[in-house]
Amino acid sequence: MTRLFNSYSDLYLLKQFHPHTLVRLLVPHRHFFARKGLQLPLEATAELDHVEVARILAEPDETEPPDLLEALHLIRELGIDANYSDLVQLAVAAGAEIADDMTAPDLAAQIWLKEPRLLERKEREVLCERRKSFESFRVVNWPTATSLEDLPPDLPALEAALRGYFKEVHMGAGCRVIPQYSQAEIRFYVRHGRPYRREPSWSDTQSTSTFFRPETTDLVILDVVHHELRIGAANAADLQKYREVFGVHLFGDPEIFRYAEKYTLEPLRSQGIAALRCRDVEGVDSVRLTQLEFDFGGAFENVVTERAQDVFKAMAIRHAKLPDEPAIRKAVFEVKLSGQSKPRTLSVMAGNRAAYQRGEESAIFEKWLRARGFVLEVKVHAEVA
Domain ranges of the chain: 6-128, 133-259, 267-371
Could you tell me which residues are beta bridge partners of residue 14?
Answer: none
Tell me the mean pLDDT in the region 142-150.
Answer: 63
The pLDDT assigned to 8 comes to 40
- Across the range 105-111, mean pLDDT stands at 91
pLDDT of 245 higher than 70? yes
**pLDDT of 12 higher than 80:** no
Q: Please calculate the CA angle 24-30-32 and round it to the nearest 5 degrees.
A: 135
Nearest-angstrom CA–CA distance, 314 and 29: 57
Residue 141 clears pLDDT 80, i.e. is over it: no
Per-residue confidence (pLDDT) for residue 343, from 0 to 100: 87
Q: Indicate the pLDDT class of residue 2, thresholds 50, 70 and 90.
A: very low
Band of pLDDT at residue 313, cut at 50, 70 and 90: very high
Q: What does the pLDDT average to over 184-196?
A: 86
| Residue 379 near residue 260 (C-beta atoms within 8 A) | yes
For residues 113 and 96, the answer to whether their CB atoms sit within 8 Å is yes
Beta-strand ranges (E) seen in 76-143 are 133-139
Residue type for 259, please?
Y
What average pLDDT does the segment 222-230 reach? 87
pLDDT given for residue 331 in this prediction: 95
> What pLDDT sits at residue 7?
40
Q: What is the mean pLDDT of residues 310-327?
A: 91
Kindly tell me if the per-residue pLDDT of 210 is higher than 60: yes
Confidence of residue 127 (pLDDT cuts 50, 70, 90): low
Is pLDDT above 70 for 187?
A: yes
pLDDT confidence bin for 5, thresholds 50/70/90: very low
How much is the mean pLDDT over the chain? 83
Q: Identify the band that residue 153 occupies on the pLDDT scale cut at 50, 70 and 90.
A: low
**What CA–CA distance (Å, rounded) separates 162 from 152?**
18
Report the SS3 class of residue 54.
helix
Asked whether the predicted pLDDT for residue 165 surpasses 60, the reply is yes
Q: What is the distance between the alpha carbons of residues 2 and 73, in angstroms, rounded to a whole number?
A: 13
- Secondary structure class of 141 (helix, strand, coil): coil
Taking residues 135-154, report their average pLDDT: 70
Give the pLDDT confidence of 274-300 residue by residue, as tens digits: 999 999 999 999 999 999 999 988 777
Q: What is the mean pLDDT of residues 168-186?
A: 85
**Most confident of the following: 67-76, 78-87, 324-333:** 324-333
In the predicted structure, residue 379 carries a pLDDT above the cut 70: no
Q: What angle do CA 382, 235, 177 make, to 5 degrees?
A: 90
Are the beta carbons of 38 and 83 closer than 8 angstroms? no
Among 93-97, 203-207, 271-275, the range of highest mean pLDDT: 271-275
Is residue 189 over pLDDT 80?
Answer: yes
Higher pLDDT, 378 or 348: 348
| pLDDT single digits (tens) 26-49 | 888 888 888 888 888 866 556 778
Across the range 167-178, mean pLDDT stands at: 89
Long-range contact pairs involving 360-364 (C-beta distance under 8 Å, separation at least 24) = 360/129, 360/182, 360/187, 361/337, 362/134, 362/221, 362/230, 363/182, 363/184, 363/185, 364/281, 364/283, 364/284, 364/337
Per the CB < 8 A criterion, the answer to whether 259 and 247 are in contact is no
Give pLDDT, residue 274: 95
Is the pTM higher than 0.85? The answer reads: no
User: How large is the average pLDDT for residues 106-128?
Assistant: 83
Quote the pLDDT of residue 150: 65
